[in-house]
Amino acid sequence: METLENLLFGLSVASDPINLLYCLVGVVFGTLVGALPGLGPAAGIAVLLPLTFGADPIAGIILLAGIYYGAMYGGSITSILINTPGDSAAVMTTLDGYPLAKKGRAAQALGMAAFASIIGGTISVIAFMFLAPALATFAIRFGPPEYFALMVLGLTTIAGMTGKYPSKGFISALVGLFFATVGLDLMQGIPRFTFGSMHLYEGIDFIPVAMGLFGIAEILTCGTSECEIKIDKKDVTWRKLLPSREDWKFSMPHIFRGTGIGFFIGMLPGAGATIASFISYGVAKKTSKRSEEFGTGVIEGVAAPESANNAASIGAMVPMLTLGVPGSGSTAIMLGALMMFGLRPGPMLFERNPDFVWGLIGSMYIGNIFLLLLAILAVPLFIKILNVPRPVLNATVMSFILIGSYSLSNSMFDVGLTIAFGALGFFMKKMDFPAAPMVLALVLGALLETSLRQSMIISGGNPMIFFTRPISGSILVISILAILYPMIKKAIQHFLKSRTA
Amino acid sequence: MKKNIRRMAMGMACLFLLSTLVACNKPAATPEAAASKYPEKPFEMIVPMSAGGGSDVFIRTLTKVVADNKLSPQPMVVVNKPGGSGSIGWSYVANDHKGNPYELSTVSSSFYTGPLSGQSPVSYKDFTHIMALCVDPNLLLVSADSKYQTLQELLADAKANPEKISAAGSSGLSVDAITFYSLQEKSGTKMKYVPFGGGGEVMTSIMGKHTTYGFLGPSEAAAQIEAGKLRALAVTTADRVSGELKDVPTLKELGYDIVMAQTRGIVAPTGISAEQVKYLEDVFTKAAATPEWKKFVADNFMEETIMNSEQFTKESENISKMFEKYLSVIGK
């Protein structure tokens, strides 16, 4: 009951006209930066940060949170329409979103992305509201061995992204793991594969890689008219925009599963929405009835990662508010903002600044409704992107990609890096090497190595630490089963066949 | 009719906006600019780390105080140039903008360790020190339900069981690591140092008891100490910190002569004139005297330590020497 009272109080704070305005601005701006390739939520939050200084802390955090989950939806728009992920968490959405668009179902894909995002977001807010402190205690139990196990589980999902030639998918993943080793090693600060360039000390960020491999490579291979997607005017009616009943039937379980996975992984410091969307897609492929069709344009391939990344963006706020520990790059900036507001995130924040915490929660409900309205109203508008002549569109997208990569750390080096990965992506595409495993391996690789080495220091070099701890042990067993399952299935089938024969 | 009204309203709004812009510009531009030509364009405050960290919050709060109190006729724009453990941002200031009094930056531990370990092309000698404002202490913490009530208990156990106690801190070349290794040396123990990517991960590791203890700044740990989830065993400053943490003993009191805290201040490239240094020193001295700044320093458990250009240069020399000494210990 108390929670509901608090919620009403929070909604009343959030529906203050000024706060409503900030929420709306945040969601709209977030959707925009999310949709623009290269500019992700972290960049969006950093840009609008000074705007919050003059404002009340509540209005400020409402704005920043709005940008964050708005961007999670926005990223799907360009992923689906032009095969260029708007931000890193939307990489997985391209895999089925773009094929759907090619089939002429762009509108339904966009609609599903919006609904999945909003359902994921709203369920997560509810979970956040009731369980935040309890969940935070659980997140703490994730130490280095548990992270290692989770990264291994993440890597097993690569098997689901290898496309036509599994061996090429694995080569792509291994190269990604190699790229993850570039930079100063965390333990002793020894530079690895940096070739004396200090620009590589902090490793290769995955945003230039994702932008290059997906965005630029797409532009390069789409020089000819083969990528034109023709949209029939008749298709852009309201009824057609909404996903069909069959779409819902296929997607619903994956939305709920994606929400759970996303919220949980988002809560873990250092993991974040990108890894959440990867794992959610991988799990969806494993559990779907039509898993063979993944990658050719199935609607649940959009629903699973999109529900997960929005859920993760809300999940990341659990450790930020209750522990003062950021769950992602974007929440790290928000945490900095909280400190500038003079608020101290932690268990006491809920008691001392209830208007702040509950106002934020209230605003997240309202923000998700804004997001829904925005999505429904704007889908016909977004579809029009496809009517833009390809050369014009390519030039525009290219300039956004380059601006976005510069904005990462205000350096030309990242621009060069993005172009280099664009060239690599072009050849990979021509030779049928899938790009997603490389990006996934790069994201997971750094955390995989760090957590492995941390675990080894803690255990004094004994690898049993991964199996003796309950959480990491269970996750590792799940991963092993995920790897062995296809073989076991085959063996059983073989066995049954031989029996009947 | 309706259209006309709307048009008029639009026009009025534009005029209003314009007039406020003019009004804002006028008082700020005249008095100081007439006295000396400097500064005649906006300052760039280079934060060599990504947004959200300690250095970033320090610079952003300071520039906000300067702007709110109209202490500088020209705006100070914060620009994050992360990468290379800070060396990219610092060499941008010191090498690419030598003699440019509009490019300012701040210092952190890698400002000193970078050049010493050969990772940064610029050292403290390549900068004009403007002023230091405060010192960020470091705490040695355990989880509240840990069996160790004091540092002595912890170290006694470490002595009895070598390689059993583990500590969490940020990367292998940080203030945390240096504190750890010197504590290990001075107490004659053998412990394990587990480096993490940042303060948040260190916090999780201490609270989840994945490591026995860990190092965190008070601004990160204070909320958890207050909520009874973490216990501070020692602080690394020369004197105890004030406020809620006044009962935490210093390492020095406990018999380990280690003082290791992060000085925060403003630096500029070399080759700028003495008047310009004086001017900037003046702006930041005024900023440091405002109640907003004092509140920020107190809220984050920093120690106010105002040093002018000369004192700050001397301090940098000392800090660098100290790091050099401890880095050679780590190397062993």
pLDDT at B25 over 70: no
Q: CB-CB: which of B80, B120, B210 is closest to A458? A: B210
**Number of domains comprising chain A:** 1
Sign of CA dihedral A104, A107, A110, A115: negative
Give the percent of chain A with pLDDT over 90.
36
The CATH number of the domain holding residue B191 is 3.40.190.10
- Residue B237 CA to residue B55 CA, distance in Å, equals 19
- The answer to whether residue A196 scores a pLDDT higher than 50 is yes
Q: Indicate whether B148 and B128 sit together in one domain.
A: no
Residues of A in contact with B119 (CB under 8 A): 184, 189, 191, 198, 201
CB-based contact, B193 to chain A, within 8 Å: yes
Q: Is residue B275 part of a domain?
A: yes
Domain boundary among B196, B211, B245: B245
- As a whole-number percent, the residues of chain B with pLDDT over 90 amount to 52
Over its C-alpha atoms, chain B yields an Rg (Å, rounded) of: 23
Closest of B77, B121, B68, B101 to residue B295, by C-alpha: B68
For residue A224, is pLDDT > 60? no
How far A53 CA sits from the closest chain B CA (Å)? 8
Same domain as B160, residue B233: yes
Regarding whether B273 and B237 lie in a shared domain, the answer is: no
Concatenate the DSSP letters of all residues of A184-202 into one string.
Answer: E-TTT--EES-TT-GGGTT
User: Per the domain annotation, does B319 fall within a domain?
Assistant: yes
- Tell me: pLDDT of B326 over 80: no
Note whether B57 contacts A42, CB cutoff 8 Å: no
A residues 346-405 lying closer than 8 A (beta carbon) to B: 346-349
DSSP, res B250: B
Mean pLDDT of A401-416: 88
Q: Which structural domain range is residue A129 located in? A: 2-500
Token pair of A109 as six digits: 């894909």
- Asked whether residue B277 is domain-assigned, the answer is yes
**Taking the CA of residue B210 as centre, how many other CA atoms within 13 Å lie in the half-sphere pointing to its CB?**
31
ipTM of the complex: 0.83
Whether residue B28 is contained in a domain is answered as no
Judged by CB atoms closer than 8 Å, whether chains meet at A333 and B120 is answered as no
Q: Do A342 and B210 touch (CB under 8 A)?
A: no
Pair (B125, B143) in one structural domain? no
Q: Could you read off the pLDDT of A443-456 as tens digits, one per residue?
A: 889 889 989 999 99
Q: State the average pLDDT for chain A.
A: 87
Residue A230: pLDDT band with limits 50, 70, 90:
low
Length of chain B: 332
Find out whether A290 and A317 touch, Cβ atoms under 8 Å. Answer: no
Report yes or no: A187 at the B interface, CB cutoff 8 Å.
yes
- B311 and B175 co-located in one domain: no
Containing H/E element for B141? Answer: strand B139-143
| b/e A87-123 (16+ beta carbons within 10 angstroms → b) | bbbbbbbbbbbbbbbeeebbbbbbbbbbbbbbbbbbb
> Do residues B120 and B265 both lie within one domain?
yes
Beta strand B166-170 pairing with B192-196: parallel
Q: Which of B88, B165, B203, B295 to probe by mutation at the A interface, max A CB count within 10 Å?
A: B88
- Residue A485 confidence class, pLDDT cut points 50, 70, 90: confident
Among B192, B210, B245, the domain boundary falls at: B245
- Give domain status of residue B31, yes or no: no
Using the Cβ of A412 and the Cβ atoms of chain B, whether some distance falls under 8 Å is answered with: no
Contact A324 B194 (CB under 8 A): no
Strand partners of residue B303: B135
Would you state the structure tokens that stand for residue A355, as one six-digit string?
């208007």
- Cα separation, A472 vs A481, whole angstroms: 14
Give yes or no: residues B104 and B153 share one domain: no
Give CA separation, A471 vs A149, A259, B263, B276, in Å: 9, 20, 41, 59
Looking only at the bridges linking them, the beta strands covering B103-106 and B43-47 are parallel
Cross-chain residue pair B84–A332, CB shorter than 8 Å: no
Whether residue A53 is predicted with pLDDT greater than 80 in this model: the reply is: no
Residue B78 lies in a domain: yes
* Segment A37-51 mean pLDDT: 83
The mean per-residue pLDDT over the stretch B182-192 comes to: 91
B51 contacts A332? CB cut-off 8 A: yes
Residues B270 and B131 in one domain: yes
Q: Does the pLDDT at position B58 exceed 80?
A: yes
pLDDT at position A488 over 90? no
Residues B148 and B241 reside in one and the same domain: yes
Q: Establish if B146 touches chain A: CB-CB under 8 angstroms.
A: no
On whether both B229 and B284 belong to a single domain, the answer is: no
**Token match 């583990």: residue?**
B166
Is there a single domain that holds both residue B123 and residue B144?
no
Residue B25 lies in a domain: no
Does the pLDDT of residue A105 top 60, yes or no? yes
pLDDT band with cut points at 50, 70 and 90 for residue B12:
very low
Number of structural domains in chain B = 2
* pLDDT given at position B29: 38
Structural domain of residue B120, as residue ranges? 41-135+261-331
Select the more confidently predicted residue: B9 or B116: B116
**How do residues B70-123 score in pLDDT, each as one tens digit?**
999 999 999 888 877 788 899 999 999 999 999 999 998 889 988 888 888 899
CB contact under 8 A, B224 and A324: yes
Q: In whole angstroms, how large is the CA radius of gyration of chain A? A: 22
CATH number for B107: 3.40.190.150
Structural domain includes residue B143:
yes
Q: Is B249 on the interface with A (CB under 8 A)?
A: no
Nearest to A347 among B196, B205, B223 (CB): B223
Interface contact B174, partner A, CB < 8 A: no
| Residue where a domain stops, chosen among B219, B245, B271 | B245
- Residue B116 contacts A, CB cutoff 8 Å: no
> If pLDDT is split at 50, 70 and 90, which confidence band does B133 have?
very high
Determine the distance in angstroms separating the CA of B174 from the nearest CA of chain A, rounded to an integer.
10
Kindly report the number of other CB atoms within 10 A of residue B153's CB atom: 14
Residue B236 shares a structural domain with residue B151: yes
